[in-house]
Amino acid sequence: MSQQAFEKANQLQAEIEAANPASIEELEQFRIKYLGSKGMLRGLFGEIKTVDNDRKREFGQLINAIKESSETKFRSLLDGLEAKADTGKGDLDLSAPGEPFPIGSRHPVSILMNRIVEIFERIGFVVAEDREIEDDWHNFTAMNTPADHPARDMQDTFYLMNDPAMLLRTHTSSVQSRVMTSQKPPIRIIAPGRVYRNETISARSHCQFHQVEGLYVDENVSFADMKQTLYYFARELYGDTKIRLRPSYFPFTEPSAEMDVYWGLKDEIDHKITKGTGWLEVLGCGMVDPEVLENCGIDSKKYTGFAFGMGIDRQAMLKYRISDIRYLFENDVRFLKQFSSAI
Ligand code: DAH
């Protein structure tokens, strides 16, 4: 009698070892057939009663071993098949190619501002950045524009409601007074940044825009130095062109000038770009007024300097053929994406 039960057990063991379910469904059939509550292993436990007493213990150990190895086999098959079904859904595959990482785009104003800064850095100017919420003194008074000065009307100012001595800077010239009150000459800075003026928003003007300011203070700095520096700049940015300086007025420079770059009439279809003159107004500049140097604690008998300031947004519009300044501030990705390849 015992012999038969042992043979059954060995046969079942061989059968289970040979089974090779290839899918989750086949594995489930395997489980039901061998491990289920009505499965063949259960049946084998029923055979115990047919085994002779002196071999019961041996038989019990055998079928327990079969049961354990069957369960182990089931679990490892299940793990394998589930992992297969899951491929790409969380299993870490170190050999898989990386997910493409979308590269953002640079704003056209940043592109141009970075280029301008880089052009001046090449000849020894260093970047200076300062606050946008500024006090009246640094923005106006130090820059030779006291409270009753008519030039204040040229720059409609946003004052802070709870503190009228504070304002949103109307130009990056405020960085000049910040730097001159905290550093000793030689000073050679380039200051990019955002500025604000209380102007009606239209296709051509906005209440916020961008400027780049330059300042050079040292012994024996001359108007000729300024002209040559600006000529170098114009050629680096606009290519093989010429410049002209027209006399102008700014409270913080004496003498003052405006610089035009020759653009030509080639794009002058609607006479909007250069108003039919071929010349593009690019920046304001001049020799730093001795009054400004003194206001900032710099000896105007020993030092002289030149300064310049330019708007970025109009130049960016021209360069990248943007028809409406408001696009620059709307952050519409359809607009911004067009500049993704530019650095
Ligand atoms: N701050 C002037 C403006 O916003 C521009 C300017 C003119 C800056 C002449 C300068 C300068 O540094 O020398 O209109």
Q: Which phi and psi angles does 295 have, rounded to 5°?
A: -55, -35
Distance of CA 284 from the midpoint of ligand 1 (Å)? 5
Residue type, 152: R
What DSSP letter does each residue of 144-195 carry, written as one string?
A: T--TT-GGGGGS---EETTEEEEEE-SSTHHHHHHHHHH-PSSEEEEEEEEE
- Residue nearest atom 5 of ligand 1, based on CA coordinates: 309
The verdict on 250 and 166 lying in the same domain is yes
Q: Cα(262)–Cα(259) distance, rounded to whole angstroms?
A: 10
108 lines ligand 1 (CB under 6 A): no
B/e letters for 144-164, b = 16+ CB within 10 Å, e = fewer, are bbeeeeeebeebebbeeeeee
The verdict on 80 and 129 lying in the same domain is no
**Tens-digit pLDDT profile for residues 168-208:** 999 999 999 999 999 999 999 999 999 999 999 999 899 99
Q: Supply the pLDDT for residue 90.
A: 60
The answer on pLDDT for 342 being more than 70 is no
Q: Which residues contact 236 (CB under 8 A, 6 or more apart)?
A: 119
139 lines ligand 1 (CB under 6 A): no
Map residue 280 onto helix, strand or coil: strand
Q: Is 86 exposed, middle or buried (0-12, 13-18, 19+ CB in 10 A)?
A: exposed
Q: Supply the pLDDT for residue 276.
A: 79
The verdict on 53 and 153 lying in the same domain is no
Q: Supply the pLDDT for residue 164.
A: 85
Model confidence at 289, in pLDDT bands (50, 70, 90)? very high
The verdict on 190 and 324 lying in the same domain is yes
The answer on pLDDT for 267 being more than 70 is no
Q: In terms of Cα–Cα distance, which of 214, 137, 147, 141 is closest to 176?
A: 214
**Tens-digit pLDDT profile for residues 29-67:** 999 999 888 888 888 888 888 888 888 899 899 999 999
Sign of the torsion formed by the C-alpha atoms of 110, 116, 122 and 127: negative
For strands 208-218 and 243-250, give the pairing.
Answer: unpaired
Q: Cα(69)–Cα(61) distance, rounded to whole angstroms?
A: 12
- Residue nearest atom 12 of ligand 1, based on CA coordinates: 308
- How many domains in the chain? 2
Q: Which phi and psi angles does 122 have, rounded to 5°?
A: -60, -25
Q: Supply the pLDDT for residue 307.
A: 98
**Which residue would you say has higher pLDDT here, 23 or 223?**
223
**Tens-digit pLDDT profile for residues 226-264:** 999 999 999 999 999 999 999 999 999 999 999 999 988
- Residue nearest atom 8 of ligand 1, based on CA coordinates: 309
The verdict on 326 and 215 lying in the same domain is yes
Q: Is residue 195 part of a domain?
A: yes
The verdict on 139 and 197 lying in the same domain is yes
Map residue 298 onto helix, strand or coil: coil
Testing ligand 1's pocket by substitution, the residue of 167, 187, 190, 285 carrying the most ligand atoms inside 8 A of its CB is 285
309 lines ligand 1 (CB under 6 A): yes
Q: Cα(219)–Cα(183) distance, rounded to whole angstroms?
A: 15
The verdict on 154 and 48 lying in the same domain is no
The verdict on 178 and 213 lying in the same domain is yes
Q: Is residue 216 part of a domain?
A: yes
Q: Is residue 290 part of a domain?
A: yes
Q: How many residues does the chain have?
A: 343
Threshold 0.75, pTM exceeds: no
Which of 34, 53, 87 delimits the end of a domain? 87
Range of the domain at 69: 2-87
The verdict on 12 and 57 lying in the same domain is yes
Helix axes 223-238, 108-121, angle to 10 degrees: 130
